[in-house]
Amino acid sequence: MEKRTLDNARKGKYITILALPQGLMKVQLIRLGISEGDKIFCLERLPGGTVVIQKNRQEIALGHELARQILISEEL
């Protein structure tokens, strides 16, 4: 397990959310079903850092700025 931020997640890897940014973004992510401790799949990482994650059947795109503030651990 390696700690990093979501914008550095590798495509095709399962990751665990360690910490979400505080504030409005956090509650919006919680509503969409992404909370701390969740295991999710990195579906795509676009050049420039926009990340697409998948949890069950749900796909969510996060801009680089947001992904940078999310702490994850990635399975090796």
Partner 1 sequence: MRTENTGIKISPEDLLQNKQFTTTLTDRKRVVLVGNPNVGKSLVFNHLSGLYADVSNFPGTTVAISRGTYGNYDILDTPGIYGVSSFNDEERVARDVIVEADIILNVVNSLHLERDLFLTKQLIEMGKKVSIILNFSDEVKRKKIKIDSKRLSALFGVEVIETSAVTGTGFDLLNEAITKARPGFVSGEITGRLNQHIVNNHGRGVALLVAEGDEEVSAKFGYEPGTADDRETIYIERRNTVNEIISEVEYEDTSKGRFFNRLGSYSLNPVTGVPILAFMLVVLYYLIGDVVAQQVVGFTEDVVGKKYFEFYTKKTVSEFTAVDITVSNLDADGKPVTSNSYAFKDGLRYNQPQKLAFEQAASSKDSDVSFDFKNPVVRLFFGEFGVFSMTITYLLFLLLPLVIAFYFVMAVLEDSGYLPRLATMMDRSLSRIGLNGRAIIPILLGFGCVTMATITTRILGTEREKTIATAILQFVIPCSAQLAVIAVLAGTAGPAATLVYGSVIVAMMITVSTVLHKALPGQSSPLLIDLPMMRIPRIENILKKTWHRTIGFMKEASVWFFIGALGVGLMEITGLLQVFTGLLEPVTVNWLKLPAEASVAFVMGTVRRDFGGAGLYDLALSPMQVAVSLIVITLFVPCIASFMVMLKERGWKEGFAIWLSAWVIAFLVGGLTAMVVI
For partner 1, the binding residue among 13, 16, 64, 74 (CB under 8 A) is 64
**Look-up: residue for tokens 């360690």?**
18
We find the least distance from the C-beta atom of residue 3 to partner 1, in angstroms, to be 21
> The tokens of 59 are what?
């796909």
Which CB sits closer to partner 1, 9 or 66? 66
Nearest distance from residue 69's CB to partner 1, in Å? 9
Site string for partner 1, 6-25 (x = CB under 8 A): ----------------xxxx
Site track 22-41 with partner 1 (rule: CB under 8 A), x = hit: xxxxxxxxxxxx-x-----x
State both tokens at 35: 């909370």
Please identify which residue in the block is written with the tokens 């990635």: 74
Q: Can you tell me the distance from the alpha carbon of 25 to that of 31, in angstroms, rounded to the nearest whole number?
A: 10
Residue 19 phi/psi, 5° resolution? -150, 135
